[in-house]
Amino acid sequence: MRAPIATAVAIAIAVLVLIGYFVSIPLIMDVQGLLLGWAVIVAGFAALVGIVNLIIVHWRRATTPQNRDMYSVLVIAAFLLTFAVGVWYGPADPAFQQVINAFQVPAEASLMAVLAVTLTVAGLRLLQRRKGVLAVVFMLSALVYLVLASGLFVSGDWGSPVKELLHLINRLPLAGARGILLGIALGSLTAGLRVILGADRPYSG
């Protein structure tokens, strides 16, 4: 086994943090809080290293003699400007948040629109290549929710049964979202158990 000491330390820390969620012993809970605080600090430094690496990559693209990427210059300038304003006024400043939302919300809406079109095209290709019940159901559900999300049935004077049916259909994607969250939770639990059992050792290099 490679790096037996690192494996033993990782397993011991993982078991100790896990026990802290089920046993109300003050000493274990204090140690668990300390370890989780360390993990947050390490995650923060990892994010900082990622940001520095991103800036270095774009700086190299912006300063290369050939095929200079001007979008990298825009990325660096926007990052430095946002960082400076955020440090000066603070991230909780209402004006700063309003400016950030003015850029972030349209970008997220555009990405969601692209995602909707991409899923529709993927459903059409799936229906062409694999003709089956699941492909038809996927395509029909995508078209139905695209029509409902367009707002065509919002302003209409519909009866109470139709409104209740539309409300029920609009709530169906919540089941899919919960299924995705359950899948993420089960995947995280499986990855954690594999680390605790020593099957995966990402810390050993």
Number of domains composing the chain: 1
Closest CA to 152 of 162, 161, 140: 162
pLDDT at 158: 57
Residue 6 is assigned to a structural domain of this protein: yes
* Residue at 123 is within a domain: no
In a domain, 168, yes or no: no
Phi-psi region of 201 (alpha: psi -120 to 50; beta: other; left: phi over 0): beta
Residues 6+ apart with CB under 8 A from 25: none
pTM of the model: 0.58
Does residue 29 lie in a domain region? yes
Tokens read off for 176: 């899919």
Q: How distant, in Å, are the alpha carbons of 115, 126, 143, 200 from that of 129?
A: 21, 5, 18, 38
Angstrom distance (rounded) from CA 32 to CA 21: 9
Task: Please write the tens of the pLDDT for every residue from 133-152.
Answer: 777 777 777 777 777 776 66
With respect to residue 5, please indicate whether it lies within any of the assigned structural domains: yes
The per-residue pLDDT for 16 is: 85
Q: What is the pLDDT of residue 139?
A: 76
Q: Given this model, what pLDDT does residue 205 score?
A: 53
Asked whether the beta carbons of 16 and 35 are under 8 A apart, the reply is: yes
Question: Is 73 contained in some domain?
Answer: yes
Buried-state track 141-150, b at ≥16 Cβ within 10 A, e below 16 = ebeebeeeee
The parts of the chain modelled with pLDDT lower than 70 are 1-3, 150-160, 162, 201-205
Q: Phi/psi class of residue 76: alpha, beta or left (left: φ > 0; alpha: ψ in -120 to 50)?
A: alpha
* Domain-embedded: residue 190: no
Cα torsion angle, 135, 141, 147, 150, sign? negative
The range of the structural domain enclosing residue 56 comes to: 1-89
pLDDT digits (tens, 9 = 90+) for 164-190: 777 777 777 777 778 888 989 898 888
In a domain? residue 137 = no
Distant-in-sequence, close-in-space partners of 194: CB < 8 Å, separation ≥ 6 = 200
